Chains A and B, each alone.
Chain A
Amino acid sequence: MVLSGFFAGTHTLVAQATAPAEGDDLGALYRSGYQAFDAGQFADAAAKLQKLVSLVGDDAKLEEVYYTIAAAHFNLKDYPKAIAAFELFLKKFPKAVRGVDARFAIAQCHLLNKNFAEAARLFKDLEAIPALRDRALFLNGSAQNQAGNLGEAATAFERLITPKIATPLQMRGAQILVEIYSKRNEPDKAVALLRTIQKRIVLAENVVNLNSLAVQLGDAFLKAGRNANALDCYRMVRLPDQVIALQEDRIRAMNERIEGLKELQRGNPQQALANRPVIEQIEKDITSSTALLEQFRKLPNYIPAMYLRMGQCFYQLNRKWEAIVLYRDILDRWPADPAREQAMYALLVTYAEVGRAETALRYCRIFLKEFPTSKHAGTVGYLTGAAALQAEDPAAAETYFGTMLRSGGEGAFKQEMQFLLGNAQMMQGKNEQAVQSYKQYLKQHPTGPHADEAGYRIALATMLQGKYGEAVAQLRSYISANPSGTYVADAEYRLIIAKYAENDFKGAIALANAWEEKRPRDEQLGEVLSLKADALAAIQQDAESADTYARAAKAATTDEVLGYAIFEANKAYQRLREWDKVIALWNDVLKNRRNSPLVVAAVYWIAGAQSKQGKEDEAKRFVARTVAEHIGDPDREAVEQLLTQLAQLCAKKKRPRDADGNFIDPSTLPPAPDPAVEMEELLKPAVQRMAALAGSTSSAPSSDDAALAAAAFGGVAPTNAPAPVISFNENTAKARILYAKSELAAFKRQQPESDRLLEQITKEYKPEDLSPMLLGKLGDYLLGRGRTNAARAYYTTLRTEFPKAMVVDFAYAGLGRIACDSGDYKTTLVLCDEAAEKGVIGLKTRELDILRAQALAGLQRHEEARKAFEAIASNKEYRGEATALAVFNLGEVARAQGQVAEANAFYQRVYVAYRKFLPWVAKAYLRSGELFEKVGDQPAALRTYREMQRNEKLQPFPEYAEAVKRADALAARGVKAAPEPEPAP
């Protein structure tokens, strides 16, 4: 009953009305009727009072009796009779004080009788009465809501809570309105109102229900895929402790209100009478709230389950790290909650998806340990292996897949695991086992999703075992069994490899031709052509080989194939002096691969070819235009290479030719321009570009950029290539201009000027502004001047900011040298190992090899050091000072191992065979003399020191002074120098 208290209180007012005075019978009937009403015997009350009315007749004094009869029918839930009685009351007493109450009661009867339309109409009329406005609006909204007229219901409730929620009734209306908004698919309104409700929670009679509303609304949004709205709702859900505290607070407030009312009515019976229904209602509310609270206390914690749903929302919003936060919270904060299994499963899957394979793997293991019989166990078993593969741990993957497969069961992932087991084995080079795994897969799942690939991989794994004959048979068998298989093209490519491996180059060429004929546009064509070019080169068909490499480069779809093919083609054309073809080869890169890092290299080679053709001026302008395009992009590493090339071209004294290419006597011509002025002129476009782009960072090119880019590409505006992204750093550009000038000065043999310009760069620009090559060069420049700390900053920036740079080896070599020279051999070795692991090769490879050997020697790992120095000494590419250094150090290693004679032989080899390398010669002489002294051969020692002193070039070295000192000491002791040994026959 919506307003039961309303009618429960009616009789108290009626009791005060004047009783009929027409006789004792009527009076008795009157009292008896009201006593029955008071006792809740409404049928009896209605009957007696109705009898009273019929006895008395149509008397205006019975106004309250008519009202009470209607109230009795209402309380009996006989709404048709109640409506009739209230309408009769209104007809008989149109000006009655309680007329408004009667109208309200009629509307209520219609509502309770589910006559919603009529109820809504009547409540709407009652809204105009200020005292009833809120209740009428509330009940109108309720009626419309129950009738399914959500729009009208929303309007009524919106009016109820406008301008604000200030009463408990308005709060109840607001809560219903949230549900209506949800049903009407108005999530923004629902969430906004729910947020307002939370701010006015003091008015909520039932916090438990309010909490449930937020959860339900969140769930509804989640189901509808409105994840962001769902999250908004879930975030408004209070923790159980907070709900309990708030609900206890409500109950306490209600008790205090009763106490307050009782305090007010003390000594005031009339007030007490008026308060009675109110107190009764509050007591009922306390009872229901307390019961609800007790029920709530017994509920399991709903937060973990809600966090799961929040995690799901974030996951679906592709905010997976946020989902991880929630899943981890469940595991950490409520370790025994039933949601744990689901949370851990969701967590490990999400970790795998964000690429945290090792963490995913860790949770996979925990999951399988904690929930071995989970319905997700099969999936997790599979994920464990997959995560291990992702974590590049194929050995672990093999173990997991193997264990899961041995444990039996017919999990959904069994097929997948059998196949991946083979992949894990192949990754470890266990090709024989891999073949068995794939065969097992094909046996168990001959039509499985990986059957095609498994068949192909069997052949591939066989080939990798070097069993070419067997592999060829398997490949052929695979091709004939799967003529339209996914891997047929690759299988046929492998057949070409097999031919090549057997040195059947002509056979390989024939197969490659057939391959190309079948698939002229296949993405693997570049690889096939590259292999064909190798075969052509092997049979000395150089011109055709070069052209085929060029075609391979054009067809290449990967950087690896492109890089290999284009440089092979370039080398071959250079050998053949086919300069036009070199230019065409690299022009193709400029036109069709504009985002490739090869772009600047292309310019370098084109300019080189132009120069070879005697078109130096054209070459210079071409280089300068490209420099202008990329001068501010630190990632374009080859810019420095171009600047060096430009400086070289400018510094070069060319022999002038006439129009027919004949050399002209230079004295007949006006003087050649000063190289510095010429380079300044050539770099003007770069300076202009700097001014145009100064202050910009990285952005898509504007139309001006496009024009500049076109200019930089020799005026060729590519049509189908994607527009390049312009990256511009003004400081990089300025530093590069200085670098170009420094290079020019170096070519002109003006070393002090070259150094001054490098010094200027170090003073004016921070390492973070510079390109990889400048970082490396300046690091070396500073290290060469003993400015170790400054050098370290440049090398460190290069190592951390440009880890993939072509010249990152400068960083490893520089940092390694600093560490080695300070005696920190451990760090030196770590740096060398890191460089090796990353496959760093370049200009500093030799230095890194030397550092590694020196570090090993410093760490007293003599045998490893000896091997490392031997490798350096025997490396023909390192011939020169590195060999002298290595031989000297071989002596050092031998000396440290007590092998005196061997050591001395190495030292003598240095000062006999590598006399050019004075620092090592000086060291070798001194060490040799010392060793002779050590073994007691003083004359040989003195001879060695004297021999050293005869070489004046050694005087600046500290070893020289030491040798003089030692020689004088020996002479003072009367030692005579041993005679020169006989020259070897």
Chain B
Amino acid sequence: MMPARTFLSALIALAASAASAQIVVLKDGSVQESSGVSRTADRVVCQLPATNGPSGTVAIPVARIDRIEFPESSDLASAREAHNQGKTDLAISSIDRVLAAQQSFKDIVGNQWGEAAVLKLNILRSAGRHKDADPALAELLKYTLDPEINRAAKAHEAVRLAIAGQPDRALVLFDEVTKEATDPDTLALIALHRGNTFLARQRFEDALLSYMRLPVFYPNQKFLAAPALLGSARAFIGIDDLAGARNVLAQLIKDYPNLPEAIAARAELQKVERKLRARNPGADNSR
């Protein structure tokens, strides 16, 4: 299912792609195209494009601005790319550039700060850098301009609670956010960490069903797929479905051979094979 936010992003991308510039939409419906924007205390200063009449700047009071349509950020795209390739540091440095550039527009609709901040949290979490994630989360939780970003922040707060050993509170918050969220990034994150939380509590079937939401609904969330597969395998082991665990582990090793999860998967696979052999000693359990 496509969420509303993707649609909005598409709108922004379309509007910006025409001139690769920022479009400042005023509350009266008029627009100001700009080749660059900067911020003073209560105004946005627009650099007028040279081809669009006389060059120079115009300062627009923030109170008059409905939204700013920023072009698709190449740094955001690079960060996503680097993240998908497992290059965490590179992804973070790209994200930090976006955050710095967008910091002064945080209070204006259309800014990319929230999206970048959520992406940074996703990257830190998937790299296991939970301590680094906490300050970023604290800042994001204060951001209420975009409800979907706010839901993503709450989802990360639930993840933090789960990691901090408060699984019950985490599960309540996961459920709460799931009811409202539409962004696949947020929903996929919840599916993974809800699964992890259930797994830690040895609620294996619940864990498995949560992990399975990723391949069912969010198959494009590649960077969450490997931990979800590993979690699924452990849940399969928990419900004593060793054949299921073996299939999932083999898939993980095949699809993500260079990720840390694949190393863990190899060790798990050995144990599973051993158990299968012990269970059926006469049979050739190799595939």
Residue numbers of A with Cβ under 8 A of B are 198-202, 235-239, 242, 245-246, 256, 310, 314, 319, 321-322, 324-326, 328, 354-356, 359, 558-559, 593, 595-597, 634-635, 697-698, 700, 722, 725, 727, 801-805
CB distance from B1 to the nearest CB of A (A): 5
Interface contact A325-B14, CB-CB below 8 Å: no
B284 / chain A contacts, CB cutoff of 8 Å: 595, 722, 725
Contact of A698 among B1, B205, B273, B278 (CB under 8 A): B273
Interface contact A804-B4, CB-CB below 8 Å: no
Contact of B212 among A200, A245, A325, A722 (CB under 8 A): A325
Interface contact B278-A803, CB-CB below 8 Å: yes
B208 / chain A contacts, CB cutoff of 8 Å: 321
User: Would A325 and B1 be within 8 Å (CB), given that A246-B7, A596-B282, A803-B278 are in contact?
Assistant: no
Interface-located stretch among B52-60, B86-94, B213-221 = B213-221
Interchain CA distance A419-B17 in the complex, whole Å: 71
User: Would A325 and B205 be within 8 Å (CB), given that A201-B2, A595-B284 are in contact?
Assistant: no
Known contacts A202-B10, A236-B2, A319-B215; 17 additional CB pairs below 8 A are A200-B14, A202-B14, A235-B219, A236-B1, A238-B1, A242-B182, A325-B209, A325-B212, A328-B209, A354-B244, A595-B282, A595-B284, A635-B277, A635-B278, A727-B274, A802-B274, A802-B278
A319 / chain B contacts, CB cutoff of 8 Å: 215
CB distance from A75 to the nearest CB of B (A): 36
Interface contact B215-A322, CB-CB below 8 Å: yes
Interface contact A355-B277, CB-CB below 8 Å: no
Residue B279 interfacial (CB < 8 Å): yes
Residue B106 interfacial (CB < 8 Å): no
A597 / chain B contacts, CB cutoff of 8 Å: 281
Interchain CA distance A314-B212 in the complex, whole Å: 11
A314 / chain B contacts, CB cutoff of 8 Å: 216
User: Would A199 and B10 be within 8 Å (CB), given that A242-B4, A354-B241, A356-B205 are in contact?
Assistant: yes
Nearest 4 A-B pairs (CB), nearest first?
A: A804-B278, A597-B281, A325-B212, A725-B286
Interface contact A242-B1, CB-CB below 8 Å: yes
Interchain CA distance A354-B247 in the complex, whole Å: 14
Interface bin, chain B? 35 or more
Which residue on B lies nearest to A207, using beta carbons? B7
User: Would A235 and B205 be within 8 Å (CB), given that A202-B11, A697-B266 are in contact?
Assistant: no
Q: List 10 A-B contacts (CB under 8 A).
A: A235-B219, A242-B1, A321-B244, A324-B212, A325-B212, A559-B282, A596-B282, A597-B281, A697-B270, A698-B270
Interchain CA distance A333-B283 in the complex, whole Å: 44
Interchain CA distance A729-B6 in the complex, whole Å: 49
Interchain CA distance A238-B4 in the complex, whole Å: 9
Residue B129 interfacial (CB < 8 Å): no
Residue B82 interfacial (CB < 8 Å): no
Interchain CA distance A359-B203 in the complex, whole Å: 14
CB distance from B175 to the nearest CB of A (A): 11
B4 / chain A contacts, CB cutoff of 8 Å: 242, 245-246
A325 / chain B contacts, CB cutoff of 8 Å: 209, 212-213, 216
A256 / chain B contacts, CB cutoff of 8 Å: 29
Interface of B is mostly: helix
Interchain CA distance A596-B219 in the complex, whole Å: 42
Interchain CA distance A722-B7 in the complex, whole Å: 58
Interchain CA distance A201-B278 in the complex, whole Å: 55
A202 / chain B contacts, CB cutoff of 8 Å: 7, 10-11, 14
Interface contact A237-B1, CB-CB below 8 Å: yes
Interface contact A235-B1, CB-CB below 8 Å: yes
Interface contact A198-B2, CB-CB below 8 Å: yes
Interface contact B281-A559, CB-CB below 8 Å: yes
Interface contact A700-B286, CB-CB below 8 Å: yes
Which residue on B lies nearest to A249, using beta carbons? B7
CB distance from B3 to the nearest CB of A (A): 7
B1 / chain A contacts, CB cutoff of 8 Å: 235-239, 242
Interchain CA distance A246-B212 in the complex, whole Å: 29
B286 / chain A contacts, CB cutoff of 8 Å: 700, 725
Interchain CA distance A359-B241 in the complex, whole Å: 15
B281 / chain A contacts, CB cutoff of 8 Å: 559, 595-597
A326 / chain B contacts, CB cutoff of 8 Å: 216
A201 / chain B contacts, CB cutoff of 8 Å: 2, 7, 10
Interface contact A242-B266, CB-CB below 8 Å: no
Which residue on A lies nearest to B283, using beta carbons? A595
Interchain CA distance A198-B184 in the complex, whole Å: 15
Interchain CA distance A245-B283 in the complex, whole Å: 58
Residue B169 interfacial (CB < 8 Å): no
Interchain CA distance A244-B274 in the complex, whole Å: 54
Q: Which chain B residues in 202-240 approach chain A with CB under 8 Å?
A: 205, 208-209, 212-213, 215-217, 219, 239
A199 / chain B contacts, CB cutoff of 8 Å: 6, 10
Interchain CA distance A236-B1 in the complex, whole Å: 5
A805 / chain B contacts, CB cutoff of 8 Å: 278
Residue B275 interfacial (CB < 8 Å): yes
A355 / chain B contacts, CB cutoff of 8 Å: 241
Interchain CA distance A326-B212 in the complex, whole Å: 10
CB distance from A401 to the nearest CB of B (A): 27
A246 / chain B contacts, CB cutoff of 8 Å: 4, 7
B266 / chain A contacts, CB cutoff of 8 Å: 697
Interchain CA distance A911-B266 in the complex, whole Å: 57
Interchain CA distance A698-B267 in the complex, whole Å: 10
Residue B64 interfacial (CB < 8 Å): no
B27 / chain A contacts, CB cutoff of 8 Å: none
Which residue on A lies nearest to B14, using beta carbons? A202
Interchain CA distance A310-B216 in the complex, whole Å: 9
A697 / chain B contacts, CB cutoff of 8 Å: 266, 270
CB distance from B238 to the nearest CB of A (A): 12
User: Would A803 and B275 be within 8 Å (CB), given that A201-B2, A239-B1, A242-B3 are in contact?
Assistant: yes
Residue B271 interfacial (CB < 8 Å): yes
Binary interface encoding of chain B residues 6-22 relative to chain A, with 1 for a CB under 8 A from any of its CBs, else 0: 11001100100000000
Interchain CA distance A239-B7 in the complex, whole Å: 13
Interchain CA distance A137-B33 in the complex, whole Å: 33
B216 / chain A contacts, CB cutoff of 8 Å: 310, 314, 322, 325-326
Interface contact B2-A242, CB-CB below 8 Å: yes
Interface contact B212-A321, CB-CB below 8 Å: yes
Interchain CA distance A597-B280 in the complex, whole Å: 10
Interface contact B217-A235, CB-CB below 8 Å: yes
B3 / chain A contacts, CB cutoff of 8 Å: 242
Interchain CA distance A199-B284 in the complex, whole Å: 49
B278 / chain A contacts, CB cutoff of 8 Å: 635, 802-805
CB distance from B19 to the nearest CB of A (A): 14
User: Would A324 and B209 be within 8 Å (CB), given that A202-B7, A246-B7, A804-B278 are in contact?
Assistant: yes
Interchain CA distance A266-B281 in the complex, whole Å: 89
Interchain CA distance A794-B279 in the complex, whole Å: 21
Which residue on A lies nearest to B18, using beta carbons? A166
Binary interface encoding of chain B residues 42-75 relative to chain A, with 1 for a CB under 8 A from any of its CBs, else 0: 0000000000000000000000000000000000
Interface contact A801-B209, CB-CB below 8 Å: no
A595 / chain B contacts, CB cutoff of 8 Å: 281-284
Interface contact B10-A801, CB-CB below 8 Å: no
CB distance from B133 to the nearest CB of A (A): 28
B282 / chain A contacts, CB cutoff of 8 Å: 558-559, 593, 595-596
A198 / chain B contacts, CB cutoff of 8 Å: 2, 6
Interchain CA distance A246-B6 in the complex, whole Å: 12
Interchain CA distance A235-B285 in the complex, whole Å: 36
B11 / chain A contacts, CB cutoff of 8 Å: 202
Most buried by B among A322, A325, A802: A325
CB distance from A473 to the nearest CB of B (A): 37
A238 / chain B contacts, CB cutoff of 8 Å: 1-2
Interface contact B205-A634, CB-CB below 8 Å: no
B279 / chain A contacts, CB cutoff of 8 Å: 804
Interchain CA distance A593-B6 in the complex, whole Å: 60
Contact of B274 among A235, A321, A635 (CB under 8 A): A635
Interchain CA distance A356-B273 in the complex, whole Å: 22
Interchain CA distance A635-B271 in the complex, whole Å: 10
B275 / chain A contacts, CB cutoff of 8 Å: 801, 803-804
Contact of A200 among B10, B182, B277 (CB under 8 A): B10
